[in-house]
Chain A
Amino acid sequence: MTYAVRSAVVRFGDTLALDEVSLLVEPGSVVAVVGGDGAGKTTLLRSLVGEVALERGQVDAPAPTKIGYLPASAGSWPALTVAQNMDFVGGIYGLSGKALASRRDELLERAALQHSTGQLASQLSGGMRRKLGFSMAMLHNPALLVLDEPSTGVDPVSRVDLWRLVSEAAAAGAAVVMTTTYLDEAERAASLLALDGGRTLASGTLQDVLGTFDGAIARTATPQRRHWAWRRGREYHEYWPAATDLPPDDIAVIPDLEDVVIALSLLRGHDLEPVS
């Protein structure tokens, strides 16, 4: 059973938050939705879980009791302890007694939170709080796991922990969709969807996205067209939409996902303007 949002159009007042966006989530795999603030990631996930109504399009999702949702904001109650947060959510899903206790303990141990059960959620570091929120979303063993920016602002070690937890859930058969601002996470997912201003920039497996990319990316110390170039380390990458325009002396690099996402954003008419 593939879960999906198909050709979704969502409007908030005058703003077109989603413009014909489609998302497919297969059981046993992780889909990454990547884009910056305002791209439409949260709106897309909220459409999938039924929190936002579509103006047009279709949603194929399981019953709410089979969905685990971690929103972009904390996902846990700050004034409750780690254990209380888990027990509270477990109770909502009808878990109790020994069944609840053993499921809770198992999840907390996997998230390396077993020594923090008595701590208030507000006292946890950002990464630990996200892991708690994740564990809460997993309590009832959902078929569809929906995670909104689980790793934004999280330290690298906790990010690796979170990724491991996400992979475990997918390996156990859940359909997982997560949004992220990190391109390396999108590269690691089974498939990705890049959003920009409510529209799809690119979608598919990493190979699809890189393989269908048109144009060339040159590595150069002195870009010819400042508006089409950005820094990578000490040098620049410059995008030539028509590969034949690439100056003969410039070295063409094999584009990675960052190159593709930036190039496609530039094609869409955005601007790379240094602030100073």
Chain B
Amino acid sequence: MVLLRASGVGRTFGSFTAVQDVTMRVGPGEVVGLLGANGAGKTTLIRMLLGLLDTTAGEVELLGGPPDRELRRRLGYVPQGLGLYRDLSVAENLAFTSQAYGTPPPALPESLRPVAGRLVAEIPLGLQRQLAFVAALAHRPEVLVLDEPTSGVDALARAALWDTIHEQAEKGVGVLVTTHNMAEAEQCDRLLLMSQARLVAEGSEADIIGSTTAVAVRTGDWARAFAVLNQAGQPVMLAGRDVRVADADPGQVRSVLAAAGLAADVVGVPATIEERMMVLARAAERA
């Protein structure tokens, strides 16, 4: 059974189109990454999939039917704000959630036991995120929706959270996760890229990057190369001491540099996901 499904889904707010004609699905055991800049429509899409917001076009399904409270009992959701009560303790939060879902309170993992009695507002972000996970998993959901689950935490805590996500997927849970950290794209089985209300790419990292390329410039005088290319209106970035230009032609970059008297190694390279998103954003601005 498909756990989450959107078919030609759209949502307008007055004259503003937040989501347009999106078709996607999440199946059991899959980890699907939903990527996109601010305003791309990710949160609106998620709210419609969860039944928290009506669609103005198309259909959504949660666990095989129109999303409602009964079906939401089988869903685990960790929103960006974590959904925890900051002025209740760790244990009180779990007691509240277990009463809401009618399930017994879960055992606390070892990392949270020392702070069971502490207010959520007083524990570090990494532990808050772990608690939010425990609360979302306590009623053994069949589908998980996670909004930026690793924002702000260190590499080790991030790895531990992803271990949890993969464990759930191995048990057959379907996971939809949004992230602003493109390094996490490799953690997903499949990626969805939204831009300006639409789904513009789907599949592997290579599918998301598509045919977008970039140019890598290596030169002793990186600062001047950067300044010259920036002045010429090129979308430049620094990678260490290398300068990268998204969506550019190596020959053109070479001539801009040569005109400024700069010699450099200039080579075409595949773009990063961020560079693809930057190119999409620029195109949208010009339109």
By beta carbon, the residue of chain A nearest B183 is A184
B156 touching A265, Cβ below 8 Å: yes
A233 touching B152, Cβ below 8 Å: no
Instruction: Tell me if B277 is interfacial: C-beta within 8 Å of chain A.
Output: yes
B194 → A minimal CB distance (Å): 11
Please encode chain A, from 144 to 158, with 1 for each CB lying within 8 Å of some chain B CB and 0 for all others.
000001001111111
- Contacts A126-B38, A167-B238, A181-B152; A231 near B162 (Cβ below 8 A): yes
The stretch of B53-61, B89-97, B123-131 that contacts the partner chain:
B123-131
A196 → B minimal CB distance (Å): 7
Residues of chain B within 8 A (CB-CB) of A206 are: 240
Q: How large is the interface on B (under 10, 10 to 19, 20 to 34, 35 or more residues)?
A: 35 or more
- Contacts A157-B278, A167-B226; A274 near B164 (Cβ below 8 A): yes
Contact of B240 among A125, A149, A187 (CB under 8 A): A187
Instruction: Tell me if B73 is interfacial: C-beta within 8 Å of chain A.
Output: no
Please encode chain A, from 66 to 101, with 1 for each CB lying within 8 Å of some chain B CB and 0 for all others.
000000000000000000000000000000000000
CA of A156 to CA of B37, assembled, Å: 6
Contact of A157 among B124, B153, B222, B277 (CB under 8 A): B277
CB within 8 Å of A: which B170-214 residues = 180-183, 186-187
Instruction: Tell me if A270 is interfacial: C-beta within 8 Å of chain B.
Output: yes
B10 → A minimal CB distance (Å): 22
B151 touching A39, Cβ below 8 Å: no
A231 touching B159, Cβ below 8 Å: yes
A188 touching B154, Cβ below 8 Å: no
A275 touching B137, Cβ below 8 Å: yes
Tell me the dominant secondary structure on chain B's binding face: helix
- Contacts A167-B226, A167-B238; A265 near B278 (Cβ below 8 A): no
Instruction: Tell me if A230 is interfacial: C-beta within 8 Å of chain B.
Output: yes
B37 touching A157, Cβ below 8 Å: yes
B277 touching A188, Cβ below 8 Å: no
A58 → B minimal CB distance (Å): 27
B223 touching A160, Cβ below 8 Å: no
CA of A230 to CA of B166, assembled, Å: 11
CA of A261 to CA of B159, assembled, Å: 11
Residues of chain B within 8 A (CB-CB) of A182 are: 181, 183
A158 touching B240, Cβ below 8 Å: no
CB within 8 Å of A: which B23-60 residues = 35-39
CA of A188 to CA of B223, assembled, Å: 14
CA of A190 to CA of B126, assembled, Å: 28
Residues of chain A within 8 A (CB-CB) of B109 are: 273, 275
By beta carbon, the residue of chain B nearest A187 is B240
- Contacts A156-B37, A230-B163, A275-B164; A258 near B223 (Cβ below 8 A): no
Residues of chain B within 8 A (CB-CB) of A271 are: 110-111
CA of A156 to CA of B279, assembled, Å: 12
A199 → B minimal CB distance (Å): 13
Contact of A231 among B151, B182, B187, B275 (CB under 8 A): B187
Given contact pairs A149-B152, A156-B278, A262-B155, enumerate 7 new A-B contacts (beta carbons under 8 Å): A155-B180, A168-B227, A181-B154, A183-B155, A272-B160, A275-B133, A276-B164
28 A-B contact pairs sorted by A residue (CB < 8 Å): A36-B125, A36-B152, A36-B153, A36-B156, A37-B124, A125-B38, A149-B152, A152-B152, A154-B180, A155-B38, A159-B274, A167-B226, A167-B238, A168-B226, A171-B230, A181-B153, A261-B155, A262-B156, A265-B154, A265-B155, A270-B156, A271-B110, A272-B156, A272-B163, A274-B160, A274-B163, A274-B167, A275-B137
